[in-house]
Structures are given as C-alpha cells and as structure tokens.
Amino acid sequence: MPDGRIRLTVLGGYLGSGKTTWLRHHLRGLADPPHILVNEAAEVPIDDLLLSAACIRVLAGGCACCTGKAQFASVLRSICDQHPRPASILLETSGLADPAALVAVIRDDPVLVHHILVTEIVVLVDALNALAQLATDPLGRAQITSADRLVLTKLDAVPALDLAGLRLTLRTLNPSAPITGAASGVVVPLPPLPEGARAVPLPALTGLDARPVAAVRLSLPADLDWAAFSLWLSALLQARGDDLVRVKGVVNSPAGRLLLQSVRRVVQSPEVLPAGHAHERDGTLVLIGRGAEEASLRRSLDRFLAP
Amino acid sequence: MCNACGFPRRPGHWTEAGLATPHDRLRARFRRAAILRRVLKPYGLTVHDDGVTNGITLSTLSGASVIVDDLETLWTEAGRLAGRPIDPLAADA
C-alpha cells in the first residue's frame, strides 16, 4: 500500500456465472485473505452460507451499483474506519451490477476516493450460457467490456469448438482483457484455439452501437504537458465516454508516474507508481472502444498539446 | 466550495494529481485556462479564470456567460453555449 489506499478487487459476472463458487475455492488457497463483501440484489442473502471466511459482510436487498448505492458506500466507509484496516477488499457483485457504476460510486464519494483504489475488475463468464446472454442482454455486454480479466467457468460442460467461438466473441467485445479458465476456483490453461473457430456474430441491440471494439495505443511524449493532456482526456471522455469503454496507461505527471484508468466516463483518482522502476510501457496510453481510430485520436491529442 | 481547494471542486479529482501546494494549484489553474482559451476559441467561446474567485467563466462573443466549477460541467456548458457538443474527435474541432 504505497499510498495507503485499500485495494479493492471487483468480482463481477452475470447471474449464475459462478462467482460464489469461484470465490469459495479461491479463498481456500490464500494465506492472507482479503475482506470479503458480498452484494446480493435479493432481500434474503444466501451466498454467505456458502462462504465461510472470517471477514465477510453481506449487502443484501439492492444492487450496489444502483438501488444499494448508499448502503454500499456506508459499508466501505465503515471498513475504512476499522483498526487495523484490511489491506484489500474483494467485492462480489450481484449478477445485475455494472462494474463501471461501482467504480463511479467510489469516485463520487468524498471520503472513499481517498481511501479505496479499485485495482482489478475480474468478470466471470459462464461458458455454457454466455453466448445466449450476450445476444440479448446489454448488461452482459457491459460487464464484459469493463473487465480487466475474464475468467471462463463451467468449461467441462462445453464442446471445444463452442468454447473457441465464445473466446473469439469475447475478444471482439473486449480485446485487451486476458481470458483464462477456472475449474473449482483454480486457474486452468485454455487449449489453443482450434482451426476454423469463428467469433459468433452478436445481434445489434436497440440503443447499442454495433461498431467493433478496437484497442488503440497512443505513445505520449516524454515531456508530457499534464495540464493539456488531462484536459484532452476529460473532454474526450465527456464527448465519447459511451464509446470509449476503457482507457489505461502509465503517464508521466508532476506527481511522478501515474497509473491512469477509466471505465467509461469514470476516471479513478490515479495511483502513483514508485519511481525508478521505469517500464517500457511508460508513456503509452491504451484506449479501447467502439470505432476508436488511431489517426483521429492522435490528431486531437496533438491539437491539445500544441504549444 | 472551500477557498483552499480551488478548481476543480470535487476532492480527489484525477486531473489534480500531483498538485501538492497552493502554488502548484494556482499555476495549474492559469495553465488550464490558457489551454481552454485556445481549445474553445474555434467554438466562439472565451474563458476567464482570475485565480482568486472560484470557478471558470465561459462567455460567448454575444455576452452570454456561465461560471462552472468542474471539468465535466465545463464541457457540457461549453457545448450548450456553442450550440454544438465539444467533441475533440470532430474533424473541425
């Protein structure tokens, strides 16, 4: 914890994608388990019976990204007040949650923004039912696009060719997130994609943009003007936040190297990385979104950076 | 809004990263206003930030003006005053 903020991992995924099962097995292997928060949209909690961790809190009766927002924020605040403070929290979302909205709850809270940092959004994908969900439900697609890491569950129930089709389909929705498989909470390697596997075309949903999601890398100058750059990014997200699903990068600023992340319009308060561990990815901004084009992004950034 | 925190108002706004002292913050305010002035000029807008009072003043050439205190509102209001959204990716922006 270099900046003292509690690390929050968001575990998301559609209803029945195996979140609790994954969590239960995952916790067994950890020497230093995180503080667990389980959110259930239903009034009557059940999932906590399956989990037997020492520090577990259940938020029942409302999804933390919408109706249960206030309760979610107050529970996080009470965790911040604990002594000793947990180093990390793992939040199991309800199957109806949009992880981007959860990040927004933390960003908009004047206390939490200083004490909690969302480090990773892990989204579980039910290999058996995901394609059917993605075909009809915009929420399922929103969960996939906001993920940092995708974990496929129920692998044994699916033929190899279907699985390959699903993986390629997930790639079109989220080209940057690594995909792994899980069986009983343990990471299992996925087989190489077989010949002839194709992404399954997803039908256009009303109100959703059908353009493919692309990832664009922009290299930033070494002497980046942070004021101009941050104004550009804020204008860009304000205008195109619905299209630009993710922006990630390590950026040089007056405070040092900043790990900058956004999920749709929400930019998290950036994490200051330790100096001296310069990496080759420094000064590269990755923008993932529908219809993202390198030439136009580059041109608009240069216009803001022009002296 | 408190006098010490300056623009933007929301605590912990990500654009404020690294602005530790009041000097840094004041300098960043002027720097930001200068960039905004240049960026919003093609939209027929002028930008004023005196560094003392809170917020940034946006005005049109015909005199309509509005004071905003965070960047999200700034882009929305600038779009309203200009009659078209402020889109950095637009070809004529």
CB distance A236–B71 less than 8 Å?
no
User: Please, which pLDDT band fits residue B5 given cuts at 50, 70 and 90?
Assistant: very low
Q: Tokens standing for A248?
A: 């990630």
Query: Of A97, A90, A93, A88, whose CA–CA distance to A19 is shortest?
Result: A93
Residue numbers in B near A112 (CB within 8 A): none
Q: What are phi and psi of B19, to 5 degrees?
A: -95, 90
Three-class DSSP category at A264: coil
- Going by their DSSP bridges, the two strands B65-68 and B56-60 should be labelled as antiparallel
Disruptive mutation site among A109, A231, A263 for chain B (greatest number of B CBs within 10 Å): A231
pLDDT tens digits for range B14-34: 777 767 788 888 888 898 899
Residues 267-286 of A with CB under 8 A from B: 267-270, 272
CB distance B75–A240 less than 8 Å?
no
Q: Tokens standing for A194?
A: 């077989």
Q: What are phi and psi of A59, to 5 degrees?
A: -105, 105
Dihedral sign, CA of A203, A204, A208, A213? positive
User: Please, which pLDDT band fits residue A47 given cuts at 50, 70 and 90?
Assistant: low
Quick one: angle between helices A138-145 and A160-173, nearest 10? 80
Residue numbers in A near B9 (CB within 8 A): none
Tokens 């929103």 belong to which residue? Answer: A142
The better pLDDT of the pair A149, A211 is held by A149
Q: How large is the average pLDDT for residues A194-211?
A: 70
The CA distance from A201 to B66, in Å, is 47
**Largest Cα–Cα distance of chain A, in whole Å?**
60
Quick one: angle between helices A226-240 and B71-82, nearest 10? 60
CB distance A110–B35 less than 8 Å?
no
Q: Could you write out the DSSP letters of every residue in B13-72?
A: -GGGTT--SHHHHHHHHHHHHHHHHHHHGGGTEEEE--SSSSSEEEEETTS-EEEE-SHH
Q: How large is the average pLDDT for residues A118-133?
A: 87
pLDDT of residue A123: 92
A206 touches B: beta carbon within 8 Å: no
Prediction ipTM score: 0.85
The model's pTM: 0.69
Angle value at C-alpha A184, between A183 and A188, nearest 5 degrees? 30
Query: Of A136, A181, A180, whose CA–CA distance to A154 is shortest?
Result: A181
The CA distance from A81 to A43, in Å, is 26
Helices (H), A151-293: 160-173, 226-240
pLDDT tens digits for range B77-92: 999 999 988 888 886 6
A296 touches B: beta carbon within 8 Å: yes
pLDDT of residue A2: 62
The CA distance from A81 to A79, in Å, is 5
CB distance B12–A258 less than 8 Å?
no
Q: Which amino acid is at A12?
A: G
pLDDT of residue B75: 92
pLDDT of residue B7: 47
pLDDT tens digits for range A246-299: 788 888 877 778 888 887 777 877 777 777 666 666 788 888 887 778 888 898
Contact (CB, 8 A) for B19 and A254: yes
CB distance A238–B76 less than 8 Å?
yes
Residue numbers in B near A271 (CB within 8 A): none
CB A105: neighbour CB atoms within 10 A?
20
Q: Tokens standing for A89?
A: 């929290």
pLDDT, mean over chain A: 80
Show Cβ contacts of residue A218 under 8 Å, excluding neighbours closer than 6 positions: A284, A285, A286, A287, A294, A297, A298, A301
Cα-Cα end-to-end distance for chain B: 32
Quick one: angle between helices B22-40 and B71-82, nearest 10? 20
CB A61: neighbour CB atoms within 10 A?
15
CA distance B70 to chain A (A): 11
Q: How large is the average pLDDT for residues A231-254?
A: 84
The better pLDDT of the pair A47, A269 is held by A269
pLDDT of residue B8: 46
User: Please, which pLDDT band fits residue A61 given cuts at 50, 70 and 90?
Assistant: low
Q: CA A74: distance to chain centroid?
A: 22
pLDDT of residue A42: 61
Q: Tokens standing for A54?
A: 């020492």
Residue numbers in A near B19 (CB within 8 A): 254
The better pLDDT of the pair B89, A66 is held by B89
Q: Tokens standing for A112?
A: 């939490």
